[in-house]
Amino acid sequence: MSNKMNKNLKDIFKSSLVGILAVIISIIPFERIFGGSSELFGAMPTIYLLPIFLIYTSIAFVYSKIKNNLKVSKQGAFFIIFSFNFIISAFLPLIEGEIYLENFPFLPALFTEFILSLAIVLLIFYLWKQDDNREAGQVKSYFASRSVISWIWRVIVVMLLFYILTMIIGIISMPITGHFLEQGIMKVPSMLTLFSITISRSFAYMLVTIPLIIFWKSSKKELFLYLALIASLIYPILGDTLAPFWPALYRLVDGTLLTLHTIIMSWLYVKILWKGDLVLN
């Protein structure tokens, strides 16, 4: 019991170092480095620094547990976690910012988030050592565990469920957040654009989740818990709730509903995309 407590305390201390690094990077005035300024882009407001520290500390702690449950090489684990973090916490929210907001500095913001994601994941892998596992045959056995038709319809079902759930959340939030569209604070996308955004987000989430499923060496339930927790931390909570360029009420409502959305979809992704019973070597 004492050894386990000491290990948890060490993990919390290591996680706090990642949180401190995230705060340091967040206060760097990148708008000056890029030779311009924007009311939508700049150093993170001071009031957000404590939440950023707490969120990134939690993120690091969860990632440390995830990486220890991946049966893959150190390089493979790094690529999986970095890709997951960068795409979910940075790329997808910034794409939406480019679509919904006028004069959004997409490229500078993307570069900044790339540096932040790379820095924190590098520090995580430096602080928490990992055994080098062999991943040979796991990808093949995963896809061979079901027929091609089975995989196709599972992918289609997941993407449709993602779209339907997104539309339901949009309908629920519209009475509260709809006036931001009427005031011109946000651009109103066409239904085709909205459909494309949602399907692309679902597909991107699927791409970064499947490697976790393939190389996961623990239970399905444990993967769901870690996936739902980390995805909620880095997408609706960090990427939406703390985005200073969104109106405060919009962030609160949308962040809360997206957290629920993320938890439900994490369960569906793990449930539907889990490997079949027949695994061929």
Residue 279's pLDDT is what?
Answer: 42
Query: For the residues 156-177, what does the mean pLDDT come to?
Result: 86
pLDDT: which is higher, 242 or 200 = 200
pTM of the model: 0.86
Q: Shortest CA distance to 25 belongs to which of 14, 13, 33, 35?
A: 33
Query: Does the pLDDT at position 280 exceed 50?
Result: no
Residue 181's pLDDT is what?
Answer: 64
**Burial (0-12, 13-18, 19+ Cβ within 10 Å), 23:** middle
pLDDT digits (tens, 9 = 90+) for 209-232: 999 999 998 899 999 999 999 999
Banded pLDDT at 92 (limits 50, 70, 90): confident
pLDDT digits (tens, 9 = 90+) for 240-251: 666 666 677 777
Encoded tokens for 95: 């794409």
Banded pLDDT at 257 (limits 50, 70, 90): confident
